[in-house]
C-alpha cells in the first residue's frame, strides 16, 4: 500500500472506530459516569492500536465485526490507562490530547470510576451475543487482552515506571518496563486482529515478533518526541518525563543512540512482517 | 443442608478459594505490584461471592474448575473495588478487614495500579487454555462478569453513590444504587455458578430473582450493621456512611423499617430459590 493509500485507509478506519465507540460507550450511564467515559475515549488520539488490530485482521481475512470490537476494546484499555495515569497520585497531568484531563474535568473519584468502567466495558464489547462473534473467538480475544492489560503487561510496566522515578536504571530494565507498559498492548493489538482470521503457527510467531519490535520502537520514538517537541505539537505536556525525573531512552542512551535504536527496531519489525508472508496483503 | 453442615461446607470452600487465589495472584509481578494485589485480596473477608458461585455450581452439577475460576474472578472484582473505593479521592478509609487499607500500606499510585491489575486478572483467570475450561463457557463467564462490574453494574452504582453524598434521595434511587453497586455482582455470582452447569430457562430466571433479592437484602443488612455495630466487630470503620453523610436504608427508612425490609427480601429470596427447583440440591 502506498502512502496516500494508507492515509485514506487509516482515515476510513478511524471513522469506523469512532462510530463504534460512539455507539458502545453509553452516554446514559448513571450520574455522569457515561459522560466521563466518553470524554476519556471519544474524539481523541491517532487510534494507533485499533488500526493495528484492523490491519492485522484484514491481512488474514478476519471477521470484520470481531475485529472492530477488538479494535475498540484495545482502545478502551489504552484510554482507561491514560485516565488513571494522568491522576494526581500518578503523573498528575492536566493536559491530554489538547484537552483538560478527565480528573480535571470531572473530579478524581469520577475519573477513577470512569477508568474502571472503561476496562470492564472493553470485555463487554468483546462478549456480545454468540450470534455476533463466535464464543471461542470471544474467549481468545478476552484472554489476549486481559494478559496484555494486567500485571504481566501494561499494569506491571506502570509499576516499574512508578518505582523507577529518580532511580538510575540500565537499558535492560528500561526495555523490560516498556515491553510491558506500552509494548504488550501494541503487540496484542496485532495478535487480536490476527486471531480474527486464521494463520499458521509460524506466521503467528512472526506477527508476534513484529508487534514486539513495533511496540518498543513506538516507545523509543515517544521518548524522543517528549524530549524534542513542544506541547502544542504533541497535544500533551512535553518534557514531562524529564520534569518527573523519569528514565527514558533519551536519558539512558542519549538522543543520537535513541534515534539509531528506533531505526534498528523499525528494520526488525519490517523483517518480521516480511517473514510472516502477510506483507503484501494489506500492510 | 443444616447449619453445621453449611458451616463445614463453607469452611472447606473458603479454603479452596484461598488456595486458588494464592496460586493465581502472582507474588512476582513487578516492582511490588504483586504484593499489593495479594495484600488486597488474600486472607480476607467471608468470601460470600465465591460461596454463592460454588453453591450455585454445585446445585446444577457444574464444572468444578470453571466454577472455582468464576469464584476467584468475582472475588478479584469485589476486592479491586474495595481497594479503589478506600482511596482518599473516594471514601478515604484507612481500615479494611482489620488491616490498613492498600493505599495506606503501599501508596495511592500502587493501590490504583493494583486495583486495575486485579480487574484484568479476573478476566485472565476466566480464560485459561481451552482444554481447562470450554471456550464457550469462558466467553459466557466473561460476559456476565464484565456487565456486572461495569457502568450498568458496580461502577455505575458507585457513581450514583458518589453523586448522592449529602443529597436527600428517595427509596427508589437508593434501591437503584444498591442494585448496581452491590446487587449486580452478588446476583452475577449466582448466575456464573449456574452457567457452569445446565438448567432450564425458567430455573435460570428464578435463580436470577433469587440473586437479585439476596443482593439487596445484603445491602440492607450491611447498612443496619454499619449503623449499629462497633468497628472491632465489623473489622472496618463503623458508622462511616453516617460520617460521610451518605444515604443508607437506615437513614432513608429508619432502623425498624430497614429491619422489616431485610426480612421481606429474605423471604422473597427463599421463595425464588424454592421456585427454581434447586432448593433441595445443595442450598
Chain A closest CA to B6's CA: distance in Å?
33
Residue A48 lies in a domain: yes
Question: What letter would DSSP give residue B30?
Answer: G
**Is residue A283 a part of any domain in this protein?**
no
CA distance A267 to A217: 10
- Is B158 part of a structural domain of the chain? yes
Q: Which three cell numbers stand for residue A159?
A: 509499576
Which domain does A52 fall in, by range?
Answer: 3-276
CA A207 – CA A215 distance, rounded (Å)? 12
DSSP letter string, B58-94: HHTT--HHHHHHHHHHHHHHHHHHHHHHTSTTTT---
* CATH of residue A127: 1.10.600.10
Residue B33 grid coordinates:
505490584
**Alpha-carbon span A224 to A163, nearest angstrom:** 22
ipTM of the complex: 0.94
From the list A93, A89, A75, A71, the residue with the least C-alpha distance to A37 is A75
Nearest to B113 among A121, A143, A159 (CB): A159
Q: What is the pLDDT along chain A (283 residues), one digit of tens a residue?
A: 677 789 999 999 999 999 999 999 999 999 999 999 999 999 878 999 999 999 999 999 999 999 999 999 999 999 999 999 999 999 999 999 889 999 999 999 999 999 999 999 999 999 999 999 999 999 999 999 999 999 999 999 999 999 988 888 888 989 999 999 999 999 999 999 999 999 999 999 999 999 999 999 999 999 999 888 866 666 666 666 666 677 889 988 999 999 999 999 999 999 999 999 886 544 4
Place of cell 427454581: B276
Neighbouring residues of B266: CB distance < 8 A, sequence distance ≥ 6: B213, B217
**Number of compact structural domains in chain B:** 1
Does the beta-carbon distance from B110 to A37 stay under 8 Å?
no
Residues of A with Cβ-Cβ distance to B110 under 8 angstroms: 159, 162
All cell numbers assigned to A81: 490507562
Is B282 part of a structural domain of the chain? no
Do the domain assignments include residue A265? yes
Please tell me which of the candidates A31, A119, A140 has its beta carbon nearest to residue B116: A119
Give the cell for residue B101.
487499607
Domain-located, residue B31: yes
d(CA A45, CA A42): 9
> Are A142 and B145 an interchain contact pair (Cβ–Cβ within 8 Å)?
no
Name the minimum distance, in Å, from the CA of B135 to any CA of chain A: 5
Asked, for residue B265, whether it belongs to a domain, the answer is yes
B230 CA: distance to closest CA in chain A (Å): 28
H or E stretch covering A138: helix A135-149
Q: Which helix (H) or strand (E) holds A99?
A: strand A99-100
> Is residue B281 assigned to a domain?
no
Chain B residues whose CB is inside 8 A of the A145 CB are: 123
**Residue entry with cell 493536559:** A95
Give me the sign of the Cα torsion angle A92, A95, A97, A102.
Answer: positive
Q: Cβ of B139 and A150 within 8 Å?
A: no
> Which chain B residues have a beta carbon less than 8 Å from that of A108?
89
Dist. CA B11–CA B18, nearest whole Å: 10
Amino acid at each position: 500500500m502506498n502512502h496516500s493509500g494508507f492515509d485514506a485507509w487509516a482515515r476510513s478506519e478511524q471513522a469506523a472506530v469512532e462510530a463504534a465507540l460512539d455507539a458502545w460507550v453509553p452516554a446514559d450511564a448513571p450520574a455522569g459516569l457515561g459522560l466521563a467515559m466518553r470524554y476519556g475515549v471519544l474524539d481523541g488520539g491517532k487510534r494507533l492500536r485499533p488500526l493495528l488490530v484492523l490491519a492485522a485482521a484484514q491481512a488474514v481475512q478476519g471477521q470484520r465485526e470481531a475485529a472492530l470490537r477488538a479494535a475498540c476494546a484495545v482502545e478502551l484499555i489504552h484510554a482507561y490507562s491514560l485516565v488513571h495515569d494522568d491522576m494526581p497520585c500518578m503523573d498528575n497531568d492536566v493536559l491530554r490530547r489538547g484537552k483538560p484531563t478527565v480528573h480535571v474535568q470531572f473530579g478524581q473519584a469520577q475519573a477513577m470510576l470512569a477508568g474502571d468502567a472503561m476496562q470492564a466495558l472493553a470485555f463487554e464489547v468483546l462478549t456480545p451475543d454468540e450470534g455476533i462473534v463466535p464464543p471461542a473467538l470471544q474467549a481468545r480475544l478476552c484472554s489476549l487482552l486481559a494478559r496484555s492489560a494486567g500485571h504481566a503487561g501494561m499494569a506491571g510496566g506502570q509499576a516499574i515506571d512508578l518505582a523507577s522515578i529518580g532511580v538510575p536504571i540500565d537499558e535492560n530494565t528500561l526495555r523490560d518496563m516498556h515491553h510491558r507498559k506500552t509494548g504488550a498492548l501494541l503487540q496484542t493489538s496485532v495478535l487480536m486482529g490476527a486471531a480474527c482470521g486464521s494463520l499458521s503457527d509460524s506466521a503467528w510467531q512472526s506477527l508476534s515478533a513484529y508487534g514486539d519490535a513495533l511496540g518498543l520502537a513506538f516507545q523509543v520514538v515517544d521518548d524522543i518526541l517528549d524530549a524534542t517537541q513542544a506541547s502544542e505539537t504533541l497535544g500533551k505536556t512535553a518534557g514531562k518525563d524529564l520534569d518527573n525525573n523519569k528514565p527514558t531512552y533519551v536519558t539512558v542512551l542519549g538522543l543520537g543512540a535513541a534515534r539509531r535504536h528506533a531505526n534498528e527496531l523499525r528494520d526488525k519489525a519490517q523483517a518480521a512482517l516480511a517473514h510472516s508472508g502477510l506483507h503484501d496483503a494489506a500492510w
